[in-house]
Amino acid sequence: GENVEQHPSTLSVQEGDSAVIKCTYSDSASNYFPWYKQELGKRPQLIIDIRSNVGEKKDQRIAVTLNKTAKHFSLHITETQPEDSAVYFCARMDSSYKLIFGSGTRLLVRP
Amino acid sequence: NAGVTQTPKFQVLKTGQSMTLQCAQDMNHEYMSWYRQDPGMGLRLIHYSVGAGITDQGEVPNGYNVSRSTTEDFPLRLLSAAPSQTSVYFCASSRGSSGGAYEQFFGPGTRLTVL
């Protein structure tokens, strides 16, 4: 179907530890997979994205991996800091350019 | 550039009233979308447009209409407001396929309450 399943819904980590959020989808026509960060009371902002012809992408402490065969993709944040605390959303775009979001993960980084 | 702008920021309606949420972007983006965000449910796509004159339904289109007569504007109309439409509404735009970029730039949101 259209949905993107996102897990976990909440994640609490100690500052300096890594955080991993995973999303799964079923539509094999999906070709673009972004991740958005939303701080409390603010609008969502793109932090990293990956296209279907790439398996991994990194940007400093953030990385995204994509397994097209298994239809899942993950966000990895290393050396977490308190300012990483926010809600993170994954999303997928299908061949009609429709962007469907997961339900979000609330990340808390404990100092 | 102002980016993506939305008006109003807050709105209270009574059941059955109609209204239009305004959205405009000054980045010459092809794609524009409307999402609603309810607590614990993430962002759900209402309607989207891949260019002027073209609109399509998203995940939750019932009770809403859109039109895209210009590249810049993408208003969302609530036909007969219901309490279930109480939500935060975000408009977003992206360059689209011709620009090769799908990053969504979100507006600041409109908080709508239907009594």
Q: Which residues of B touch A93 (CB under 8 A)?
A: 102
In this prediction, residue B99 carries a pLDDT of 61
In this prediction, residue B2 carries a pLDDT of 83
Evaluate if residue A111 carries a pLDDT over 70.
Answer: yes
pLDDT for B45-73, tens place per residue? 999 999 999 999 999 999 999 999 999 99
In this prediction, residue B42 carries a pLDDT of 87
- B49 to chain A, any CB pair closer than 8 A? The answer is no
Evaluate if residue B21 carries a pLDDT over 80.
Answer: yes
pLDDT for B68-79, tens place per residue? 999 999 999 999
Q: Which residues of B touch A97 (CB under 8 A)?
A: 31, 48, 50, 96-97, 102
Query: Which of the four pLDDT bands, split at 50, 70 and 90, describes residue A43?
Result: very high
- CB–CB of B90 and A43 under 8 A? yes
Q: Which residues of A touch B56 (CB under 8 A)?
A: 96, 98
Evaluate if residue A97 carries a pLDDT over 90.
Answer: no
Average pLDDT, chain B: 94
Evaluate if residue A44 carries a pLDDT over 80.
Answer: yes
At residue A72, φ and ψ (nearest 5 deg) are -145, 155
8 Å CB contact between B31 and B52? no
Evaluate if residue A1 carries a pLDDT over 70.
Answer: no
Nearest by CB to B59, which of A2, A43, A44?
A2
In this prediction, residue A102 carries a pLDDT of 94
Q: Which residues of B touch A49 (CB under 8 A)?
A: 102-103
Query: Which of the four pLDDT bands, split at 50, 70 and 90, describes residue B98?
Result: low
- B104 Cα to chain A: minimum distance (Å): 7
For the segment B90-107, the average pLDDT, to the nearest whole number, is 86
- A103 Cα to chain B: minimum distance (Å): 4
In this prediction, residue A106 carries a pLDDT of 96
Q: Which residues of A touch B90 (CB under 8 A)?
A: 43-44
In this prediction, residue B26 carries a pLDDT of 95
Please give the full DSSP string across chain A, using - where no structure is assigned: ---EEEE-SEEEEETTS-EEEEEEE--TT--EEEEEEE-TTS--EEEEEEETT-SEEEETTEEEEEETTTTEEEEEE-S--GGG-EEEEEEEE-TT--EEE---EEEEEE-
For the segment A49-56, the average pLDDT, to the nearest whole number, is 89
For the segment A62-74, the average pLDDT, to the nearest whole number, is 95
- CB–CB of A6 and B42 under 8 A? yes
In this prediction, residue A94 carries a pLDDT of 84
- B95 to chain A, any CB pair closer than 8 A? The answer is no
